[in-house]
Amino acid sequence: MALEDLADFEDLPLRQFACTLLVAIVADRVCTFWQLGDGAICFREAEQEEYRVAIWPSKGEYANTTYFLTDPNASEELEWDSVEMQVADIAVFSDGLERLALDFKTQQAHAKFFSGLFPHLYNKPSGEATEIQAQLAQFLASDRINAKTDDDKTLVLATRECI
């Protein structure tokens, strides 16, 4: 395993390289998702309003635990799915944003969370949106968001609703 080799090379325990895994491969009319552990991928199909969760976050045996790529049984815990559709919006985020972006009672995406973010990307030129990155970083570091989570808050947004 490449991570074991890296741990040996760096002379660090493998546990130092523990991480979850979220992968979305989006083609024109099909999308494939892979997930190991927590965090989530949410998406919206073209010409639809509803945001959906690709794979529900996996939690470990105990509270505040999950599965990691470095776990001996990682391949057994890895989940995947493939859907035939044209995806318009996609969000990939770490576990620190789960309580804001997901409704754990219904196991659905919080539409208001995503509908408040994606329109800022629409009709922008494709590529990296540096002005929006700064605004998003400020939003994620705000007292309002920090009052709801003290965990890491990584968020990647992509849309096809461009010029």
> How are strands ordered across the β-sheet holding 79-84?
21-26, 30-36, 79-84
Strand, coil or helix: what is 34?
strand
Find out whether 157 and 115 touch, Cβ atoms under 8 Å: no
* Predicted confidence (pLDDT) per residue in 101-152, tens digit: 999 999 999 999 999 999 988 888 777 778 888 888 998 999 988 888 878 8
- Residue range 2-159 in CATH 3.60.40.10: yes
Q: Where are the domains of the chain?
A: 2-159
* Predicted confidence (pLDDT) per residue in 39-68, tens digit: 999 999 999 999 999 999 998 777 778 999
Quick one: pLDDT at residue 2?
A: 84
Can you tell me the distance from the alpha carbon of 138 to that of 150, in angstroms, rounded to the nearest whole number?
A: 15
Judged against a pLDDT cut of 70, whether residue 163 lies above it is answered with no
Other Cβ atoms within 10 Å of 127 Cβ, number: 7
Strands (E), the chain: 21-26, 30-36, 40-45, 51-53, 79-84, 87-93, 102-103, 108-109, 155-159
* Predicted confidence (pLDDT) per residue in 14-36, tens digit: 999 999 999 999 999 999 999 99
Other Cβ atoms within 10 Å of 13 Cβ, number: 10
Judged against a pLDDT cut of 70, whether residue 1 lies above it is answered with no
